[in-house]
Amino acid sequence: MLITIGITCFNAEDKIEKVIKNAIQQTWTKKEIIIIDDCSTDDSIKAINKFKSRNNIQIFKNKRNKGISFCRNKIVNQAKGRIIFFMDDDDISDLQRIDLQIKEIINSGYPNEKYIACTASMEREYRSGHKRTLIAMGSKGRLPKDDELANFLLFYEKKKGVDYGFGLPTCSMAITKECFEKVGLFDESLERVEDMDFSIRLSLNGIIFTSVKNILIHQESSSSNNKNYKNFLSEVKLIKKYSTYLKQNKLLWHALQWPYLRYYYFSKKFIRAFVVIVLLFIGNPRRTFIHIYKTGKSRLILDLKIFFKNFSR
């Protein structure tokens, strides 16, 4: 079975060659690799072109910067593989990642079941050197089904016995091509959180979710105020995109407050963050308490670990 590995690149001249070699070295032999350079301003394309003589690699360079969703959609449209894997320009996958995720997709009913998306556990490394393990959904409970993942991502609704993990980010995704035919491509109007939007649509359309519990992806994490602001704008846009669905659940106002809270917190505007928390407790005390209790403690512990690692340097 032919599969497609899609690699997106923007200004990653020091990393992209390693990522491409990682894709080539995957133990699954029948594969094509599609690389999209999103009009990098460094020498990324020079590093990429070292591989242009290989028969199973296609290389595209955008004439202007078009964004991550455009690049991923181009990969999907060009893909001949029956299952598509995505790799970012700063992630490295275990060499058996494809084999293990395909095995899980087949165990979930493929090819009789056409609409399947698979994730895997991953390790994220921060600039401070701190490492965080992200365990795939379904590792400590039942995998989400139907609208359960959408409800978790939109307003943090968690059902007893269901393990939502860390969702379904594109960098850990293996997905049948038929899924795109059913739910559409990535939303090119979203500068960030496009994979969250795509996961919501997968969930609302009844796609089967599965996962590999092993750590198969190693990711370098970077953050900045500019990135934080772009996330904030895209998260607000995302919530508004699903306003009709959220209104049906009487949670539109509640869901809209969380992007503001995250933005104020990560921007260190703590007074504004506190005001939003107060408003959330007034509007929906039980749901707010559960959300903050479940996520706030782990977030604070992570921030403290990163702080002390930076402090000790």
Which structural domains are found in the chain, ordered by start? Answer: 3-220 (3.90.550.10), 227-312 (no CATH)
d(CA 170, CA 111): 22
Digit-coded pLDDT (tens) for 139-183: 999 999 999 999 999 999 999 999 999 999 999 999 999 999 999
Check if the beta carbon of residue 74 is closer than 8 Å to that of residue 68: no
pLDDT at residue number 223: 55
pLDDT at residue number 129: 79
d(CA 19, CA 1): 23
pLDDT at residue number 224: 54
pLDDT at residue number 292: 87
pLDDT at residue number 296: 65
- What average pLDDT does the segment 255-262 reach? 94
Main-chain dihedrals φ then ψ at residue 216, nearest 5 degrees? -115, -10
State yes or no: pLDDT of 311 exceeds 50. no
pLDDT at residue number 303: 46
Q: Where are the alpha helices (DSSP H) in 79-176?
A: 97-107, 148-155
Digit-coded pLDDT (tens) for 267-298: 999 999 999 999 999 999 999 998 888 786 55
Q: To the nearest whole number, what is the mean pLDDT of the chain?
A: 91
pLDDT at residue number 298: 56
State yes or no: pLDDT of 93 exceeds 80. yes
d(CA 228, CA 131): 20
pLDDT at residue number 131: 85
Three-state SS at 102: helix
- In angstroms, the Cα distances linking 232 to 77, 99, 252, 260, 277 are 29, 36, 16, 7, 17
Main-chain dihedrals φ then ψ at residue 92, nearest 5 degrees? -125, 130
DSSP annotation of 244 reads H
Q: Beta partners for 220?
A: 125
**Out of 49-63, 73-87, 105-119, 224-238, least confident range:** 224-238
Digit-coded pLDDT (tens) for 194-212: 999 999 999 999 999 999 9
Q: Residue 222: pLDDT band by 50, 70, 90 thresholds?
A: low
pLDDT at residue number 125: 87
Secondary-structure percent of the chain, ordered helix, strand, coil, rounded to 5: 45, 20, 35
Q: Give the H/E segment covering residue 87.
A: strand 83-87
- What average pLDDT does the segment 109-129 reach? 92
State yes or no: pLDDT of 302 exceeds 60. no
| % of the chain with per-residue pLDDT over 70 | 93
Whole-model pTM above 0.85? yes
